[in-house]
Structure 1
Amino acid sequence: MPRQSRFVLPNYPHHVIQRGHNRQVVFAGDDDYLYYLGTLQEWKAQLGCKVYAYCLMTNHVHLVIDPGDDPEHLGLLMKRLAGRQTRYVNALEKRSGSLWEGRYKSSPVQADAYLRACCRYVELNPVRAGMVDDPASYRWSSCPAKVGRIKQPWLDLDPFYLSLGESDVQRAEKYAAWLRETIPESEWRLIREATQRGQLTAHKRFAEELSEKYGRRLVQRGPGRPRKD
């Protein structure tokens, strides 16, 4: 069966995950992380993409990216990131071959309802992995910038974040408090499963509307028999 093409929407955020080949280590030291972030900063500007959140783990990355007017820019950005990092690591280690899995996973995100939830999911990844207790203490994510610990001018601020206060200090304090709130397990599950399946991270009705519009199933289906109308 042919592999279904990736579904990308213009001017919508997308939650993207890319893993190292066979779950191997991708970032072995600070220079590796810095090189990847340098490429992300350079190419998101060249392609007109927005980066709302990111988290670089040792063997995979999470990104929340809006490709702008051209949906193909998401794929181009991921191609540049993967290709440049592979060449960089291969040159350092005097090796050849792929650094990444063949395909990254992505899910278009209903901006008003789930963009903030996806950003939180991404930035809490080191906490879920048991690497840190405070997400703002993890250097290789967008969280330190959003809570005011560092400056990162190239990071794009989403409408939810901007609505948290009138000043940078207010927004940073409220965002830090929001990250500490209890998160429903259903929210984690929806985000995780939508990205794994390449479906929408969205309310069901919104997903059904887009499924009809594009003639493609974008709605998550749970186990069991389908409901009768």
Structure 2
Amino acid sequence: MARLPRFSPTGLPALVLQRGNNRQPVFLGPDDYLHYLDCLRMAAREHDLAIHAYALRPNHVHLVATPRQADSLSLTMQAIGRRYARYFNRAAGRTGTLWDGRFRSAVFDPAAWMLPAMLYVEGNAVRAGEVTQPEADRWSSYRHHAGIEASPFVSDHSAYWALGNTPFERQSNYRSVAADGLSSSSLATLRSHAHSGWPLGDAAFLAQLERQGTRRVQPLPKGRPAGRSAGGADPEPSAA
């Protein structure tokens, strides 16, 4: 089955996942993480992509980002993929494919899901058991949002600014939100959409996306189409 075209509307954030080929490591030491962040900074600036959150894990990368131009996300990820793969192969003395095909991305409704998406990304190392507290993770944007150290290329989303009137208030409230954590249902929903690439939002948000008419925004129902009887003809296709 042909894969659906990528859905990346200008001005709407996306949850992005890029894995190493066969889930192999793509970071072997601190220099690798630092080089990737440098590639991310340069490519995002070059292609006008706002980075709201990130987490670099040994064999994959998570981002929350908003494209400001039609191809901002794709061009940024392509540039990072090429630049970092050349560096990593040379540094590791290897050849061949580094990344697992094309990256995955799921557009989401920022009004409902921006802070959960950020927490999902920045809590990755804690859930994996690599650190016990998110502030111990040097390779995520949590330390930026918690006020521990500034990341100059992170673009704070309005949902983060709404946490307080001063930087201290925003940072303190974000730490509290992070300490509360995500519900199991929110975590499962974000994980599912990050891997599937289907847009995330309520019925009104999905209907708005569907009116843009570029591709389906929800998977087709499983099983026999409604109205079809065994041995009978398919019903006439709907307008959708």
- TM category (shorter chain) comes to over 0.9
**Displacement after TM superposition at 1:125 (Å):** 0.7
3-state SS, counterpart of residue 130 of structure 2:
coil
Distance 1:103 1:86 in 2: 14
Could you give the per-residue CA deviations for residues 140-161 of structure 1, whole angstroms, max 9, x where no partner exists?
0000111011121221101121
Could you give the per-residue CA deviations for residues 76-134 of structure 1, whole angstroms, max 9, x where no partner exists?
10011111111001111222111110111100111111111111110111111111121
Aligned 8 A contact 2:122 2:140 in 1: yes
* Structure-2 residue corresponding to 1:191: 190
What is the percent sequence identity of the aligned residues?
Answer: 34
> Where do 5+ consecutive residues of structure 2 fail to align?
228-240
> Where do 5+ consecutive residues of structure 1 fail to align?
none
3-state SS, counterpart of residue 180 of structure 1:
helix
Could you give the per-residue CA deviations for residues 149-190 of structure 1, whole angstroms, max 9, x where no partner exists?
112122110112111122211111110000011422221122
List aligned pairs for 1:58-77, cutoff 5 A.
Answer: 58-68=58-68, 70-77=69-76
3-state SS, counterpart of residue 11 of structure 1:
coil
Aligned: 1:8 with 2:8: yes
Aligned 8 A contact 2:7 2:215 in 1: no
**Displacement after TM superposition at 1:216 (Å):** 3.0
TM-score by length of 2: 0.88
3-state SS, counterpart of residue 140 of structure 1:
coil
Distance 1:79 1:215 in 2: 22
3-state SS, counterpart of residue 65 of structure 1:
strand
3-state SS, counterpart of residue 6 of structure 1:
coil
3-state SS, counterpart of residue 129 of structure 2:
coil
Distance 1:128 1:76 in 2: 30
Runs of 4+ in 1 over 2 A off after TM superposition: 219-228
Distance 1:192 1:180 in 2: 19
* Structure-1 residue corresponding to 2:234: none
What is the count of residue pairs matched by the alignment? Answer: 227
Q: Which moved more, 1:134-143 or 1:90-99?
A: 90-99
Aligned 8 A contact 2:17 2:60 in 1: yes
* Structure-2 residue corresponding to 1:161: 160
List aligned pairs for 1:70-149, cutoff 5 A.
Answer: 70-149=69-148
One-letter amino acid matched to 1:103:
R
One-letter amino acid matched to 1:57:
R
Structure 2 CA distance for partners of 1:150 and 1:222, relative to 1, 3 Å = farther
One-letter amino acid matched to 2:206:
A
One-letter amino acid matched to 1:206:
F
Distance 1:164 1:133 in 2: 25
Q: Which moved more, 1:24-33 or 1:219-228?
A: 219-228
Structure 2 CA distance for partners of 1:32 and 1:2, relative to 1, 3 Å = same
Distance 1:165 1:82 in 2: 36
* Structure-2 residue corresponding to 1:151: 150
One-letter amino acid matched to 2:129:
G
Aligned 8 A contact 2:4 2:215 in 1: no
Who wins on radius of gyration, i.e. which is larger?
2
Distance 1:132 1:203 in 2: 33
Distance 2:39 2:24 in 1: 21
Aligned 8 A contact 2:106 2:197 in 1: yes
Aligned 8 A contact 1:208 1:219 in 2: no
Distance 1:150 1:83 in 2: 29
Aligned 8 A contact 1:195 1:201 in 2: no
RMSD: 1.9
Distance 2:53 2:2 in 1: 32
Distance 1:227 1:133 in 2: 49
Aligned 8 A contact 2:120 2:182 in 1: no
